[in-house]
């Protein structure tokens, strides 16, 4: 596998620190609202990375945090007249509702910032002792000038950063550099706080991720992921903190996903084109949202529009319908070995082999889910063609459906349609199906259509195939 490393700006062979094991950290949400489409993209991207690595036999330790204390959370809690903890509890619960329905696996570790205070204080204390941090009246700050590699991820020049930040940043009295950032913020009236060697206060944003990584994954990890907007300053500051405190390399591979645009404009609250996942699922399913995100390469900007979402819906239905139809044909057709069409069977077998090869090759090429989806579609096309060729063995058809499901599952896509077995369908519906079949055989098409409408009214759909009527929930 090759991964594009933001640090080196090039694709590199992925070589984990320990053979067969991978440690991944991905930045999680600030829990003061439902998460939006821009949040969903990294959640889906790095969940897919984890799924693929596990599919390829790696044991993955995956950590994703909850930021449950910051300025936005304090402001929102005060606005609603509740505590920050109550706000966090509410939206962490809502996060899991959306994440579970997006098929995002639960991380190995998912700590809250407020549950990592001791580890944060330990790291800040170490940075002060080593001369990388200093205390002021309002908090503790990191001295970026002391870290020689500052700018190594974003490739920004420190002198230029100082100049630009100095023009617009509010400076604390005594702050040594305009770009120095807060590690600990001393308590202000009405704010939650924790005891520390520097008085009551709360952690800065950047330090929580560094402390969590050291606590749960160790001083050095294989992969750190997040949105492109986090490269600077968040991830740059994480490197400075962690490498200064730990005297060890921090991350071997940095992965960042691109932005989401709405009708070709960057999504933002100020532009009025800001959508939460909850907004979108009023019109489209969670499965469609996940599929939509994965149809683009994670590093590229992805454009969101009603037309593209509908296209994703159609594409997903093409996959689920194929699995449903192939299984139905495979389970309801007698395909005797002497009648096997060896050429047609060989074509499907080769298509299955090609699909798996192309899928893995695509995912190995910097997690190219767009091409991986194309590989699944090629298999869908071959399986659909095989369904109308009577000489293809049933076992081979069913195996092709299994492979479509297997590869889709790696992407977190539910390829199995919710079709019921005949034994699970209400007797009333099956009785109508039989009467409709009899009406069609008698060429009483008006009665046949009337019975179909009655079946639809009961919440079921019927599809006529060469193997008989196919029935399932609407």
pLDDT in tens, 208-219: 999 999 999 999
Mark whether 20 and 123 lie in a shared domain: yes
Task: Respond yes or no on whether the N-terminal peptide bond of residue 100 is cis (omega within 30° of 0).
Answer: no
* Cβ proximity of 274 and 268 under 8 Å: yes
3-state DSSP call for residue 22? strand
Q: Which of 410, 440, 456 is the last residue of a domain?
A: 410
Span 289-310, average pLDDT: 95
Mark whether 403 and 446 lie in a shared domain: no
Question: Residue 8 has what pLDDT?
Answer: 98
> How many domains is the chain partitioned into structurally?
3
Q: Read off the DSSP letter of residue 152.
A: T
Span 343-368, average pLDDT: 97
pLDDT at 429 over 50: yes
Span 340-361, average pLDDT: 95
**pLDDT higher at 91 or 336:** 91
Question: Residue 392 has what pLDDT?
Answer: 93
Least confident of 201-205, 270-274, 381-385: 270-274
* Cβ proximity of 322 and 332 under 8 Å: no
CA-CA distance, 100 to 14, in Å (whole number)?
Answer: 29
Residue with tokens 């300053």: 233
Q: Which of 226, 257, 288 is the last residue of a domain?
A: 257
Span 59-77, average pLDDT: 97
Query: What's the pLDDT tens digit per position in 216-248?
Result: 999 999 999 999 999 999 999 999 999 999 999
In a domain, 225, yes or no: yes
CATH of the domain at 173: 3.40.50.620
pLDDT at 124 over 80: yes
Question: Residue 444 has what pLDDT?
Answer: 86
Question: Residue 417 has what pLDDT?
Answer: 60
- Residue-range definition of the domain harbouring residue 444: 422-473
In a domain, 186, yes or no: yes
Which tokens hold the place of 455?
């079946």
Mark whether 26 and 137 lie in a shared domain: yes
Mark whether 8 and 142 lie in a shared domain: yes
pLDDT at 337 over 60: no
Question: Residue 272 has what pLDDT?
Answer: 66
Please name the residue ranges forming H helices in 102-140. Answer: 117-129
Sort 127 into a burial class: Cβ within 10 Å, 0-12 / 13-18 / 19+.
buried
In a domain, 463, yes or no: yes
pLDDT at 438 over 60: yes
Q: Read off the DSSP letter of residue 276.
A: B
Question: Residue 420 has what pLDDT?
Answer: 46
Question: Residue 467 has what pLDDT?
Answer: 58
CATH of the domain at 392: 1.20.120
Name residues whose C-beta falls within 8 Å of residue 446's C-beta, 6 or more positions apart in sequence.
none
3-state DSSP call for residue 331? helix
Number of H helices, E strands in the chain: 15, 15
* Cβ proximity of 46 and 99 under 8 Å: no
What is the helix (H) or strand (E) element at residue 262, kind and residue range? strand 260-262
Mark whether 228 and 329 lie in a shared domain: no
pLDDT at 422 over 90: no
Mark whether 394 and 443 lie in a shared domain: no
**pLDDT higher at 450 or 44:** 44
Mark whether 41 and 136 lie in a shared domain: yes
Band the pLDDT of 268: cuts 50, 70, 90. Answer: low
Query: What's the pLDDT tens digit per position in 158-209?
Result: 887 776 655 444 455 688 888 999 999 999 998 999 999 999 999 999 999 9
Question: Residue 177 has what pLDDT?
Answer: 85
In a domain, 247, yes or no: yes
Mark whether 219 and 322 lie in a shared domain: no
Question: Residue 421 has what pLDDT?
Answer: 46
In a domain, 331, yes or no: yes
Torsion of CA 329, 335, 340, 345, to 10 degrees: 30
Span 58-80, average pLDDT: 97
DSSP bridge partners of 21: 18, 59
What is the helix (H) or strand (E) element at residue 465, kind and residue range? strand 460-465
Which tokens hold the place of 289?
């949202």
Q: Which of 379, 410, 441 is the last residue of a domain?
A: 410
In a domain, 396, yes or no: yes
pLDDT at 418 over 60: no
Least confident of 96-100, 173-177, 441-445: 173-177
Mean pLDDT value across the chain = 91
Mark whether 385 and 448 lie in a shared domain: no
pLDDT at 451 over 50: yes
Range of 89-93, 260-264, 266-270, 412-416 with top mean pLDDT? 89-93
């Amino acid at each position: 596998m090759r991964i594009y490393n933001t640090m080196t700006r090039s694709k590199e062979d992925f070589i984990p620190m320990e053979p067969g094991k991978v440690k991944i950290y991905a930045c999680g949400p600030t829990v003061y609202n439902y998460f939006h489409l821009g949040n969903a993209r990294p959640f889906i991207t790095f969940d897919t990375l984890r799924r693929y690595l596990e599919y390829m036999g790696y044991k993955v330790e995956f950590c994703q945090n909850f930021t449950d204390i910051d300025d936005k959370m304090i402001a929102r809690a005060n606005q609603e007249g509740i505590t920050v903890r109550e706000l966090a509890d509410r939206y962490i619960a809502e996060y899991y509702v959306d994440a579970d329905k997006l098929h995002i696996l639960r991380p190995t570790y998912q700590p809250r910032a407020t549950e990592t205070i001791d580890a944060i204080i330990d790291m800040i204390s170490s940075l002060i002792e080593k001369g990388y941090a200093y205390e002021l009246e309002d908090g503790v700050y990191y001295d970026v000038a002391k870290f020689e590699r500052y700018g190594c991820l974003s490739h920004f020049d420190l002198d230029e950063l100082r100049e630009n930040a100095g023009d617009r940043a509010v400076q604390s009295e005594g702050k040594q550099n305009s770009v120095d950032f807060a590690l600990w913020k001393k308590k202000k009236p009405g704010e939650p706080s924790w005891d520390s060697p520097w008085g009551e206060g709360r952690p800065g944003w950047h330090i929580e991720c560094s402390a969590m990584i050291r606590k749960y994954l160790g001083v050095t990890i294989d992969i750190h992921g997040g949105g492109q907007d986090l490269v600077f300053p968040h991830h740059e500051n994480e490197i400075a903190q962690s490498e200064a405190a730990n005297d060890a390399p921090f991350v071997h591979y940095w992965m960042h996903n691109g932005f989401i645009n709405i009708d070709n404009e960057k999504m933002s609250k100020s532009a009025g084109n800001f959508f939460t996942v909850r907004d979108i699922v009023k019109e489209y399913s969670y499965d469609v949202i996940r599929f939509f995100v994965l149809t683009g390469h994670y590093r590229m900007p992805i454009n969101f529009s009603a037309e593209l979402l509908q296209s994703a819906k159609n594409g997903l239905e093409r996959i689920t319908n194929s699995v449903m139809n192939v299984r139905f044909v495979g389970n309801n057709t007698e395909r005797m070995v002497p009648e096997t069409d060896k050429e047609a069977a060989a074509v499907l077998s080769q298509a299955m082999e090609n699909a798996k090869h192309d899928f893995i090759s695509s995912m190995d090429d910097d997690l190219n889910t767009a091409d991986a989806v194309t590989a699944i579609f090629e298999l869908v096309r071959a399986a659909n063609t095989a369904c109308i060729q009577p000489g293809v063995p049933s076992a081979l058809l069913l195996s092709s459906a299994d492979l479509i499901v297997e590869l889709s599952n790696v992407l977190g896509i539910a390829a199995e349609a919710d079709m019921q077995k005949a034994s699970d369908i209400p007797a009333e519906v099956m009785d109508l199906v039989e009467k409709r079949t009899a009406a069609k055989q008698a060429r009483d098409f008006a009665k046949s259509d009337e019975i179909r409408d009655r079946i639809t009214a009961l919440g079921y759909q019927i599809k006529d195939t060469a193997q008989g009527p196919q029935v399932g929930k609407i």
